[in-house]
Amino acid sequence: MVVSKYKEAAITYMAGFVCKTATRQVGCPECITALTKQDAEQPHFLTWKSNGDLVIPSTSVIKICTDTEKCIMRILNMTGGKLPNCKNLLGTISTAVLATCVGSSVFKALDNHMFDTTATNNHIATLIKSCAHSYTHIHLKHHTKRQTDM
């Protein structure tokens, strides 16, 4: 599934807020650095939009948000644009995104840090799920508002 340039810019912009939300939930300094790490190449839209007060997300967070958007788009395509009526939709989407991102290059800087934690407290998995959960929450709130405005 391909994301348009417009959606790509919106996802990148929302990823900054996702970083801010995840930073509040994560207590590990290494993980916080990985969320907001300044990459060599900043997204053009954020550079243009920011006056210095936007949180610039890492490429890993942008990838997680893009994968989450694609997952939501697939769900909406299958249900005819309506949200499915099921329990724990946020958790289901977060788990699907985690499965997509686990083998990819997401949070490569934390590969060694992963071995400092227990298997049940894997920081990379926690970060991926936290970012996907936050993005999904924002997206579904917007989708629901659009549906009730019609």
Q: How many CB atoms lie within 10 A of CB 89?
A: 15
Closest CA to 137 of 18, 46, 54: 18
Q: What is the pLDDT of residues 91-123, one digit of tens each?
A: 999 999 999 998 788 888 888 887 777 767 788
For the chain, give every domain's residue range: 5-149
Q: What is the pLDDT of residues 45-87, one digit of tens each?
A: 555 555 556 778 888 999 999 999 999 999 999 988 888 888 8
CA-atom Rg of the chain in angstroms: 15
**Residues 112, 34 contacting (CB under 8 angstroms):** no
Amino acid at 50: S
For residues 125 and 110, give the distance between their C-alpha atoms in angstroms, rounded to a whole number: 11
Look up the pTM and report it.
Answer: 0.86
